[in-house]
A and B are shown apart, each in its own frame.
Chain A
């Protein structure tokens, strides 16, 4: 087990290095250059000098090794476009993004499980078919489209919710205000995940509901409510928890889109801005952070199998 963990961690480091090389190479292939260097009003000579001082004229492998050297010392560099340390920039945005991610995750888990259970209990009924339809819709619909539709409906037509941002400007920040701003982006981000959770819960529940021990539970006179929610659901949850965990990295990706649509001032938005402005240090910083999250989540999920399910054996040979 210990050996397995060490092995997986080593693999993760190799994977991270690979990801960083790939990203570093690709951002330098993108045409143009850091937007800040091309500030209107700068002469060609000034731009050339600035490029030199940022080390952008060195061969890309040299630049990469320099970046990696700083990274080892915990230094992600300084943003070209905003002039602040990348670590500071990311920290400032992180909590805002976590609010969104956490809300979306909770929403998708609660409603996904609920819809899944109800569908399983009323298999092939109208409710089940509606839920299935909704799930396919949720998984297929593009996030940005759904976001725009919600904005048109709830902000522009009905004037119920704010269309963008994280707070009403010019007013003291309140919890209600924050929730109003959070609702639409969180729902949009939750939908795809929710649909998937609902599908998995449904099939898992159907399987469990046919199990012998539930017949026993019913036979001993337990109420159906208790049978479903306490006995069946608990056993059906194991695969669902995996799905929820694996959904986290995907939601991190989805957040970039959702945040851009709703002008939610989080990491995703920062990522998109940095890409557009060719802010190399910030792009690298965010990519590395997201990669760590994704790799770590997968790693922990694998580990949890090992702990939860005694049937999973490490196969070495």
Chain B
């Protein structure tokens, strides 16, 4: 594949409104003038690097401390001493069974937007698919809408063996697949082995790799064994690890590039909704599952409607063609005065940051030096970015863990307040000198680099522009370049060919983010390395006592914050525009709200 195009081809200025871009690409395609294709690029704008903590880094551990059985409630009972700001600041009170206080009604259709065609095949992930998967399938465990702690789903309880190497999951009995067959431990074993099979290439591969044995002890008991202790396993199993029916899939052919044809055209799960109809390019409908283990959902069907243009979702929620939409801060103004819509705000497992590539031959030695990173932190006007870009809705970030992950957020980690003078002074102390053109330089090398960000997302584009100005103010010549999503992912993750990134990450709801921060971790794209941090992650994995785990992770995230492993800027807040007809809409971010659609009802 020829990817050696001049970088300038994909400049930010080429990125017009999505629609215009699609239009040009479409016209170009049919006119067989693909040069436009190359120039306009694509990559739908709202993909997120929703990375599982896949671990290429070997998780070796030598810990063998006292055994503590972690039961269902351990993670939750870790206790949140953290004074977390309420993650939901709704214009009208957020709907929940308690607050609405009304008797739920049955019937009606729930209409939810997705950005592109749905392929209901869990191993491949992707936002549009996982929204639908959450209504069709269940996992062994799932995130609580409250604080993202693992809650029972198809597993009623789970505990760790005394040698800390085997997790035992006890399954719920009497659960049926949509085709009426019973759900048993065989399905769990088959599903987990499938996700762990390198030939399937699932997004969960990294999470399941440490498991050395996946076995059914009896019809309703599953044992998962790893070579080293794996305390974060229940948290990671909440993440998109959907159980699939062995009896339907064991005879279907599939591998990493071919999905099971019969199954993806008529998926069967255990979830609150079963497959209804799929009209590609238009909608994907699921119907209430009369036999759902928690009881029949209130609504008769959920229609996932494909709406490509984000602006259209806003106008459609106004006209009632959709029941929910996820507006940007800029789109809020257009929703004012719509009496049929309420706005909710939710915290997200998402942080925005700046980092140089710490192994880049030219600038790497600077970016890998914590003195330079701290100086750059002083140069960044984080609160200015929060005010300008998010209209004050973002939360100042002190590390990768957001306030919304209540059990694992540490509010008193160090942050560096905006102070360009300190920034410049510290860089001078490090040995930089101001060149004739005002740009800092050291050993004949100018502090001048290209900073990538993804195009099509105004929030991130604006952030990058402010960063560029902040850096320029102290003599760092950062050149922002917008790159489309697919190309960006490749530069960061496959080619490791970039100078700096102004980017974002959506992470699993666990403090065990070792793949991001351990030396050589599979998603450690900025190539941060600190042996103490590496060791603390191993300690965390070997510790099952919630309080002790907490102490370890606090120590770990203090280091990341102190030496600014990357420059953490802010945690965005998700906005939800919800039709006032909807009652008991889950009080959580929209991806996880999909886990609880069976509770939603229409007035």
Contact = CB atoms under 8 A, between A and B. Distances in A.
Interface in A101-153: 144, 148
B504 to A, nearest CB: 11
A35 B280 contact: no
Interface in B29-53: 29-32, 34-35, 37-38, 41-44, 47-52
B30 A278 contact: no
Contacts of A256: 26-27, 29-30
Given A260-B26, A278-B42, A163 B34 contact: no
Contact of B522 (A44, A48, A169): A44
Contact of A50 (B256, B321, B484): B256
A169 B305 contact: yes
Interface stretch (A64-72, A78-86, A204-212, A240-248): A78-86
Nearest to B263: A83
B522 A92 contact: no
B119 A82 contact: yes
B26 A275 contact: yes
Interface residues of A, number: 81
A287 B25 CA distance: 13
Contact of A291 (B3, B32, B34, B301): B32
B257 A47 contact: no
Interface string A267-282: 0111111011110000
A185 interface: no
A31 B23 CA distance: 18
Nearest to A253: B30
Interface stretch (A20-28, A229-237, A298-306, A307-315): A20-28
Interface residues of B, number: 86
Contact of A260 (B22, B50, B486, B493): B22
A278 B487 CA distance: 11
Contact of A263 (B38, B203, B306): B306
Contacts of A263: 281-282, 306-308, 312
B281 A269 contact: yes
B101 to A, nearest CB: 27
B22 A38 contact: no
Contacts of A56: 1
Contacts of B506: 40
B249 interface: no
B258 interface: yes
B484 A22 contact: no
Main secondary structure of the interface of A (DSSP, over half): helix
B117 interface: yes
A49 B26 contact: no
Contacts of B493: 38, 42-44, 47
For B35, B280, B303, B493, the residue with the greatest tally of chain A CB atoms inside 10 Å of its CB is: B280
Interface string B94-133: 0000000000000001010000110101001110000000
B201 interface: yes
Contacts of A53: 201, 255-257
B282 A265 contact: yes
8 contacts: A31-B3, A31-B10, A31-B484, A89-B280, A156-B315, A164-B307, A275-B28, A277-B116
Given A45-B56, A163-B321, 18 more contacts: A28-B2, A30-B41, A32-B43, A39-B125, A40-B126, A49-B198, A56-B1, A78-B258, A83-B258, A96-B281, A166-B279, A253-B30, A263-B281, A263-B308, A266-B281, A272-B22, A275-B37, A276-B44
Interface of B: 1-3, 5, 9-10, 19-20, 22-23, 25-32, 34-35, 37-38, 41-44, 47-52, 54, 56, 109, 111, 116-117, 119, 121, 124-126, 198, 201, 203-206, 255-259, 261, 264-265, 279-283, 285, 301, 303, 305-308, 312, 315-316, 319, 321, 484-487, 489-490, 493-494, 496, 506, 522-523
